[in-house]
Amino acid sequence: MLRKRAKPVEMAANNKQQETKLAAIPVIIDTDPGQDDAFAILLALGAPDLDVLGLTTVAGNMGLEQTTDNARRIVELAGHADLPVHAGCPRPLLRAPRPVPEIHGDTGIDGWNWAPAKTGPKEGHAVDFIINTVLQSDRPVTLIALGPQTNIAMALRRAPHIAPRIARIVFMGGGFFEGGNMTPAAEYNILVDPEAARIVLGSGIPVTAVPLDCTHATPAPVNWSSKLAKYDTDVMLACAGMMEFFERYGNAKYGTKSRPLHDAVAVSALLWPELFEGRLCPVDIECSGELTTGMTVVDWLRQTGKTDNCLWLNACKNINEVYDRMEHVLRNLPYAH
């Protein structure tokens, strides 16, 4: 049976899509949604420069069942219902879970009337998915860690041979110049599982940290939620609602008029590194301090003689450009209202 030849225009379009995908960075997003995680996931899914291979979920902002359900809702809203989501570790390596509904609401992504997820997570543990995907990929994979790094640490401990096949780990977490947001010394993602973060930083894999130093230097425009809502698509209305909810707690705590979307800034730093500044230096995690557990100990002046192991970002060159680019990507995601 003869098949119809594709029209030249169709062939050109298909070839262009294939070339774009091959040029895109293959990534796995490890996450605990979280409004700012939701922005980060949507940004990654909409960005042509990233090829999202799947999502893995971890206990963090909310319990594992909730973060996994949130991840499914987010990918379905973005028109990527076929994207695999795998549930991972239900608690940190050595510590009790530490959910924060007072920050993110009862669901973790409050601010929008989310439709129930149509499907549940894929079978198989997130740690297995990370290991298998990294080994089977024909290109080195970048891991984006938006929550406690328990799944990634477990993968590195169970299968250390994957390390050379990981291009980079980009994580949102920590604070040096800005201190912490949960204790005077510790930022949330690191405080929840400091042992996991120490394993990641000691892995020998190139690491980029997007800490509070960087995210606090990259606040969203004041009343950005109102601007997002004007696009009148489900994705943008969800973003507007989540932004408004997320700001409510943060602005009251910090006395500000706007808050940074921490995890979305981390994805932005991967997409547009030219808009951020930092320094390669030694970084370690305090795991047993009486007052400093979870502290990211950054040897900014290289005083310890330890090996540089982390690109520590601490500044944004153009805040408006970051959010303009973010907005451009988000507004092109599907499902018109």
Helix pair angle (35-46, 319-330), 10° resolution: 70
On whether the CB atoms of residues 43 and 268 are closer than 8 A, the answer is yes
- The CA–CA distances, whole Å, from 94 to 97, 194, 195 equal 10, 9, 8
Sheet holding 85-87, edge to edge: 85-87, 50-57, 25-31, 141-145, 166-172, 207-210, 310-316, 276-281
Neighbours of 285 (CB within 10 A): 25
Residue among 104, 125, 262, 337 flagged as catalytic: 262
d(CA 224, CA 92): 34
Could you tell me the two tokens for 49? 């420069």
104 among known catalytic residues = no
* Cis geometry, peptide bond prior to residue 54 (ω within 30 degrees of 0): no
d(CA 190, CA 218): 20
* Adjacent-strand bridge partners of 52: 27
* Adjacent-strand bridge partners of 298: 283
d(CA 243, CA 226): 9
The set of catalytic residues is 262
